[in-house]
C-alpha cells in the first residue's frame, strides 16, 4: 500500500532499526520506546488489522514472536515482556498495518501500567455469552 508507513519501512523507503527479517516478517524498534527494546513485529504484506489477517499471515507473524521475545529477554536482561496488539481506533490503533508490540519489562518502575479491572464473576452471564460466541472448530 503506497501511503502506508510500515509498507514504506518494508520497502526500505524510510529507515527503521531492524532486529529481525525474513521473507514474510519484519521486526524493528518502535520509535517511541515505551520500554527499552520496545519492538514491532509486522507481516511484510499489507494487512490492516487482526480482522483482515488470514491464517497463513497469522501463522508467519505469531510464530516468530517467541524467538524475537527470547532475543529481547536475553540481550536486555528483561524479567518479563508484554505483548500488545491494537485493532481499530477504539482499541488505540494508530498505524493501520497490523503489528504486534513486544514490550520488554526490565524493572517495576518502567512506567508501563497494563492492568485489568476485576469484577465479581456472573456465571449465568458467562454461560450465555459463551453460547452466543461459540465457534465450530
Ligand atoms: P499503534 O498505536 O498500536 O497503532 O502503534 C503504532 C506504533 O508505531 C506506535 O507505537 C509508534 O510509535 C510506532 N511508529 C510509528 N511510526 C514509526 C516508525 N517510522 N518507526 C518505528 N515505529 C513507528
Ligand atoms: Zn502497509
Express each pLDDT in 84-120 by its tens digit. 999 999 999 999 999 999 999 999 999 999 999 999 9
Which residues have C-beta atoms less than 6 Å from ligand 1?
5, 16, 30-32, 40, 86, 92-95
User: For the domain with range 5-133, which CATH number is right: 3.30.565.10, 3.30.70.260, 3.30.428.10, 3.30.365.10?
Assistant: 3.30.428.10
- Cα of 76 vs centre of ligand 2, distance in Å, is 29
Express each pLDDT in 51-81 by its tens digit. 999 999 999 999 999 999 999 999 999 999 9
Phi, psi of 40 (to 5 degrees): -110, 130
Q: How far apart are CA 92 and CA 86, in angstroms?
A: 6
pTM above 0.75, yes or no: yes
- Cα of 73 vs centre of ligand 1, distance in Å, is 21
Q: What is the maximum span of the chain, computed from C-alpha positions, in angstroms?
A: 54
Q: How far apart are CA 29 and CA 132, in angstroms?
A: 40
> Is 99 known to be catalytic?
yes
Only one residue has cell 452471564, namely 125
Q: Give the start-to-end residue ranges of the domains of the chain.
A: 5-133
Q: How far apart are CA 43 and CA 85, in angstroms?
A: 13
Amino acid at each position: 500500500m503506497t501511503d502506508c508507513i510500515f509498507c514504506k519501512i518494508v520497502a526500505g523507503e524510510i529507515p527503521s532499526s531492524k532486529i529481525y527479517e525474513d521473507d514474510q516478517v519484519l521486526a524493528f524498534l518502535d520509535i517511541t520506546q515505551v520500554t527499552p527494546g520496545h519492538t514491532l513485529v509486522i507481516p511484510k504484506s499489507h494487512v490492516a488489522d487482526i480482522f483482515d489477517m488470514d491464517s497463513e499471515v497469522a501463522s508467519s507473524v505469531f510464530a516468530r514472536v517467541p524467538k524475537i521475545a527470547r532475543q529481547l529477554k536475553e540481550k536486555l536482561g528483561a524479567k518479563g515482556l508484554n505483548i500488545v496488539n491494537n485493532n481499530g481506533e477504539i482499541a488505540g490503533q494508530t498505524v493501520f498495518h497490523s503489528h504486534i508490540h513486544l514490550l520488554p519489562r526490565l524493572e517495576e518502575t518502567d512506567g508501563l501500567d497494563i492492568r485489568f479491572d476485576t469484577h465479581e464473576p456472573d456465571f449465568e452471564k458467562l454461560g450465555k455469552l459463551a453460547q452466543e460466541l461459540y465457534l465450530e472448530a
